[in-house]
Structure 1
Amino acid sequence: MSISFLSTQLLSVENLNVSFKTSKGLVKANENISFEIKEGEIFGLIGETGCGKTTLGKALLRLLSNNARIEGRIVYRGKNILSLSEKEMRSLRGKEIGIMLQDSSICFNPVLSVGSQIAEIYRYHEGMKKKDAEKKASEMLELVGIDSSRKSEYPHQFSGGMLQRVMMVVALALKPRLLIADEPTKGLDPDIKLQILEIIAKLVKKENSSMLLITHDLDVSTKLTDRTAVMYAGEIVEIGKTATVISDPKHPYTFALLHSLPEKGLMNVSGQSPSLIFPPSGCRYHPRCSNQLVDCSKIHPTLLEHVDDHFARCLFSEKNSKNVKREPHLIPDTPSPGCAEVGIRHC
């Protein structure tokens, strides 16, 4: 998928850190996250369950719990989201930035019809009269392949795939410039998954909107995105044009994810994700990596550019690349205990 038409920066995340205080210690869900999403771009964020993807998506709209601490900058169209008042955020959510959450079944009021819940969006944000809002809700349901006669039905009367389509309507109702889609096809069978993806892509491109697609499914990201960031244990380990990342992965974790796909051999990624309270010292992936060097357990690698905006956080790739733009020096991490040493299961 070509991205030559992309130019204007829509969203910029700069050195974002998100942490939570728990009884077992400080969970560092996101560490030094930086990336940008451009106008008209579909940007993929992939990684295993528990790596911090969903936390990042919610942080962009400040939808995290009160015990979350967020540091850094999230700049949307020139405004730092972290400095906005809650009133300003309410006007931003939905209208400027829409979101599709993982479990659509818990996102709806069970005692209100889906039509009335969609119509309420237009009445609240657009000031529409009840009749006009209901008409608009019907039109939007038809747009995602749901007969408008079902608008009077309740959430429990819809299948998982159909409810996901309704969630799509809610997220795209106000034609946001950016859609955050968190695992939009999770739990759906392959045929329904493909239908949902095609509808999302069609609607996003129709409005010339942008999308952050959060998924653990590399196959989904491959088919839909312009650029992809690979996340592991709370940090980005590789980022670049999707076609380049897929054809020439620079990080061993990305390589392992690719080879877990059926067409690549269906190989499991060995080991388990580390704790986000006590991550391994040095490179966080080194305990699972077959390419680890002596320094991988001591030095935390920097995200370095290899070629054409293709970045990776890996000492092995850095050593074997002739084009990498090197930092003047790397500072060794202070060793920290692993999950097994402190008796904490992986996150």
Structure 2
Amino acid sequence: MSFPVLTVEDLNVSFKTSKGVVKANDGISLEVREGEILGLIGETGCGKTTFGKAILRLLSGKVKLEGKIVYRGTDILSLPEKEMRRFRGKEIGIMLQNPSACLNPVLSAGRQIAEIYRYHEGMGKKEAEKKAGEMLELVGISSLRKDDYPHQFSGGMLQRVMVAIGLALRPGLLIADEPTKGLDTDTKLQIAELIVGLVRKENASLLLVTHDLELAGRLADRIAVMYAGEIVEIGKAEEVISNPGHPYTCDLLHSLPGKGLKAVSGQIPSLVSPPSGCRYHPRCSCRFEACSQVRPELLKNAGGRFIRCLLSGKEWKTENAADSPIREQPAFSCTEEDTWHF
């Protein structure tokens, strides 16, 4: 079994707003293993992007971070900002979503890549520009275009530039935040396969942050499902896809175009005042009385999968009655027609 390259334990990310304290990430615990592709999926607004940025401390100084983020023995949250600036890109690379907004419009693509080598590696201008050209070639862009500006590239080409920036220093872990957002189907698969191919070639690890469950099912080794700031399921990709263990995961699968295109009912809850008990219970067709009272823990089952659901185990008891008898409940499962393959 491969060892974890990144371990996150009980991570809480919160910040104050005029409406109250937003708990963007609440008790997140997961690991990314050496050479692994972990897909982090969930609806827009569930806290996926916040989690990716929290790993590299790219959030506002007003954001409160609690818990542990450990990369190969280094406690990221304890690093001084000066060391953190050196750490970013060198140890952990990141591809932020919406490259047209992330890239500097007044600097050429080649120069933006070259600056990485000049800052982190201390290279001279000519050597850095040469390396930048090599990175562009690596992601399928002619080095002759290194002097072109962001507005001169198509959406797919801009994503390739972002791949070059994220992998420029050969980091051990790459965080790709919605790398295929807004792209057509063919281009989406090209970019995704490019990222995965380069990560595999370097024997690096990838945290693929996406709302695209089908994409994660195709490319990831394991999948972690996030809902309302919490992780509700973690397991091998093929197992999560073929036999989802949480009702939310099952509902997400039903929302795919080829599987019914049935939108998840209800609304995403507020992260200022999430529902009591299980956060998914107001939208869940499998809910029962205890779901609104007891907040389930993320527990590992006999098959090695982590699931946060009262119906995933055989036992539960109410939070308000510590001495109440333990009642048995049937395990949640999708029907045979709810088995998918990508």
Normalising by structure 1, we get a TM-score of 0.90
Task: Tell me the distance in 1 between the aligned counterparts of 2:320 and 2:16.
Answer: 26
Task: Tell me the distance in 2 between the aligned counterparts of 1:106 and 1:261.
Answer: 28
Checking the alignment, whether the CA contact within 8 Å between 1:301 and 1:330 is kept in structure 2 is no
Aligned residue in 2 for 1:331: 319
> Alignment RMSD, CA only?
1.4
Normalising by structure 2, we get a TM-score of 0.91
The one of 16, 40, 46 equivalent to 1:21 is 16
What amino acid does structure 1 have at the position aligned with 2:85?
R
What amino acid does structure 2 have at the position aligned with 1:199?
L
Aligned residue in 2 for 1:148: 143
Task: Tell me the distance in 2 between the aligned counterparts of 1:92 and 1:284.
Answer: 35
Residues 258 and 103 (structure 1), Cα distance of their counterparts in 2 relative to 1, 3 Å cut = same
Q: State the shift of 1:331 in Å.
A: 3.3
Aligned residue in 1 for 2:254: 259
Aligned residue in 2 for 1:109: 104
Question: What does the per-residue CA deviation read over 1:131-177, in whole Å, with 9 as the maximum and x for residues that have no partner?
Answer: 11111111111111111111111111111110010011000000000
Checking the alignment, whether the CA contact within 8 Å between 1:240 and 1:309 is kept in structure 2 is yes
Secondary structure, aligned partner of 2:30: strand
Aligned residue in 2 for 1:128: 123
Secondary structure, aligned partner of 1:214: strand
Aligned residue in 2 for 1:223: 218
Checking the alignment, whether the CA contact within 8 Å between 1:302 and 1:330 is kept in structure 2 is no
Secondary structure, aligned partner of 1:307: coil
Q: State the shift of 1:247 in Å.
A: 1.2
Aligned residue in 2 for 1:42: 37
Task: Tell me the distance in 1 between the aligned counterparts of 2:84 and 2:274.
Answer: 33
Question: What does the per-residue CA deviation read over 1:261-298, in whole Å, with 9 as the maximum and x for residues that have no partner?
Answer: 12322211111100000101111000100000111111
Checking the alignment, whether the CA contact within 8 Å between 2:290 and 2:318 is kept in structure 1 is no
Task: Tell me the distance in 1 between the aligned counterparts of 2:69 and 2:163.
Answer: 24
Structure 2 residue runs of 5 or longer lacking an equivalent are 322-342
Q: Are residues 1:53 and 2:48 paired?
A: yes
Q: State the shift of 1:255 in Å.
A: 0.3
What amino acid does structure 1 have at the position aligned with 2:32?
I
Checking the alignment, whether the CA contact within 8 Å between 1:30 and 1:234 is kept in structure 2 is yes
Aligned residue in 2 for 1:340: none
Secondary structure, aligned partner of 1:164: helix
Q: State the shift of 1:111 in Å.
A: 1.0
What amino acid does structure 1 have at the position aligned with 2:301?
H
Question: What does the per-residue CA deviation read over 1:77-134, in whole Å, with 9 as the maximum and x for residues that have no partner?
Answer: 1111111101111111001000000111111111111111111111111111211111
Aligned residue in 2 for 1:345: none
Q: State the shift of 1:332 in Å.
A: 5.3
Structure 1: which 4+ aligned runs deviate by more than 4 Å?
Answer: none
Residues 164 and 295 (structure 1), Cα distance of their counterparts in 2 relative to 1, 3 Å cut = same
Question: What does the per-residue CA deviation read over 1:210-231, in whole Å, with 9 as the maximum and x for residues that have no partner?
Answer: 0100001100110111111100
Checking the alignment, whether the CA contact within 8 Å between 1:300 and 1:332 is kept in structure 2 is no
Q: Are residues 1:162 and 2:157 paired?
A: yes
Q: State the shift of 1:330 in Å.
A: 6.2
Aligned residue in 2 for 1:12: 7
Number of equivalences: 321
Checking the alignment, whether the CA contact within 8 Å between 2:293 and 2:319 is kept in structure 1 is no
